[in-house]
Amino acid sequence: MTADDTGSGTAETDGARDAADDAAVRDTGAREPAGGHDTAETDNADGASESDGADDGDGADNSGDADDADAPDPIALRLEQLILGAERRYTPFQAARSAGVSVELATRFWRAMGFADIGQAKALTEADVLALRRLSGLVEAGLLSEPMAIQVARSTGQTTARLADWQIDSFLEGLTEPQETGMTRTEIAYPLVELLLPELEEFLVYVYRRQLAAATGRVVQAADDAEMVDRRLAVGFADLVSFTRLTRRLEEEELGELVEAFETTAADLVAAHGGRLIKTLGDEVLYAADDAGIAAEIGLRLIETLTHDETMPELRVGIAFGTVTTRMGDVFGTTVNLAARLTSIAPKNAVLVDGAFAEELSRTGEAPVSEAEAAEAAAAAEKEGEEPPAYRFALQPMWQRPVRGLGVVEPWLLSRRG
End-to-end CA distance of the chain: 32
Decide if 218 contacts 290 (C-beta within 8 A): yes
DSSP string, 213-277: HHHHHHHHTSSSHHHHHEEEEEEEEEEETTHHHHHHHS-HHHHHHHHHHHHHHHHHHHHHTT-EE
Residue 326 bridge partners (DSSP): 331
DSSP string, 22-89: HHS-TT---PPPTT---------TTS---TT--B-SSS-B-SPPS-GGGPPPHHHHHHHHHHHSS---
Query: Residue 358: how many CB atoms within 10 A of its CB?
Result: 25
Alpha carbon distance 188, 176 (integer Å) = 6
Helix axes 14-23, 146-166, angle to 10 degrees: 90
Pick the CATH number of 226-416 from 3.30.70.1230, 3.30.1490.100, 3.30.70.380, 3.40.50.300: 3.30.70.1230
350-353 vs 284-289, strand pairing mode: unpaired
Give the residue among 177, 170, 167, 175 at the shortest CA–CA distance from 201.
Answer: 167
Helix (H) or strand (E) holding 390: none
Alpha carbon distance 13, 6 (integer Å) = 13
- Domain extent listing, the chain: 14-161, 176-221, 226-416
Q: How many CA atoms lie within 13 A of 114 on its CB side?
A: 13
φ, ψ of residue 378 in degrees (nearest 5): -65, -40
φ, ψ of residue 369 in degrees (nearest 5): -65, -35
Decide if 3 contacts 336 (C-beta within 8 A): yes
**Distant-in-sequence, close-in-space partners of 164: CB < 8 Å, separation ≥ 6:** none
Farthest CA pair distance, the chain: 93
Q: What is the pLDDT, as a whole number, of residue 389?
A: 77
Alpha carbon distance 405, 358 (integer Å) = 21
Alpha carbon distance 256, 262 (integer Å) = 10
- The reply to whether the predicted model has a pTM over 0.85 is no
Q: Name the burial class of residue 350, with classes exposed (0-12), middle (13-18) and buried (19+) by CB atoms within 10 angstroms of its CB.
A: middle
Q: What is the pLDDT, as a whole number, of residue 175?
A: 62
Alpha carbon distance 20, 288 (integer Å) = 32
Block means of pLDDT (10 residues each) for the chain, 418 residues, are 45 43 40 39 40 42 46 75 88 93 91 87 92 92 91 87 79 59 70 85 90 78 55 91 78 82 90 90 90 95 91 92 84 92 93 95 89 80 79 90 82 90
Helix axes 74-84, 185-220, angle to 10 degrees: 30
Q: What is the pLDDT, as a whole number, of residue 223?
A: 52
